[in-house]
A = this chain, B = another copy of it.
Amino acid sequence: MKAAPQGTARRAEIVAAAARLFDERGYHATSMDDIAAAVGIKKPTLYHHVQSKTQIVIWIHDELVHDLTDRLEQRVADKLPRAEILLRVMDDILGLLETRPGHLRVYFEHHREIPGEEGRVAREMRDRYTETVRQLIEEGAAAGEFRVENPGLTTFAFFGMCNWAYQWYRPGGPLTHQVIARYFWQIFMSGIATGPEVLEGHADRLDV
């Protein structure tokens, strides 16, 4: 049971500061003292607002996963074209790198640190998100929109493109997340080969 959303401003501040520090220095290289200092308070005061370090990770994780899930399910409910939903999913994820800096790294690299029941729930939420996209792709294939042999693998390729961005994307660059999302979506939809002749010949023997 959690306290009712009371010190919401402080809490948001703490989550944002922690996520940024975790992103920059790494989770284990960031002490509770560091987080407190970043918010302008001392450690015991930080513990007045927060139960544990793990709880901050859980907050970061939950904020992200709810944000993403809400948007995705709204679009599915609105019955947007499948290809467009995929485009927007990419944009959602890339956009988070600007609106919630640091959150994605925690989400991808530290979700395993959430123990017990809360960890189970957290991982369930991510699976649900992935599964929704997988179904979208599968339905698109059944409808003849997509050429998909293995929906699971295709989903992994899809998420790989945009999820990987947390490793290199930094806000403030020349390209907005909207532009990047559109670009990746184009590749995912149409590929980069100019013609079939580019693909011929080298299909065999990957073993050597």
The chain A residues found within 8 Å of chain B, CB to CB, are 26-28, 80-81, 83-84, 87-88, 91, 108-109, 112-113, 137, 144-150, 153-154, 156-157, 159-165, 167-168, 175, 178, 180-184, 186-194, 198-199, 201-203, 206-207
Contact = CB atoms under 8 A, between A and B. Distances in A.
A120 to B, nearest CB: 18
B156 A192 contact: no
A198 to B, nearest CB: 5
A26 B202 contact: no
A187 B190 contact: no
A189 B192 contact: yes
A90 B155 CA distance: 17
B147 A194 contact: yes
Contacts of A193: 83, 145-147, 189-190
Given A83-B193, A192-B148, A164 B156 contact: yes
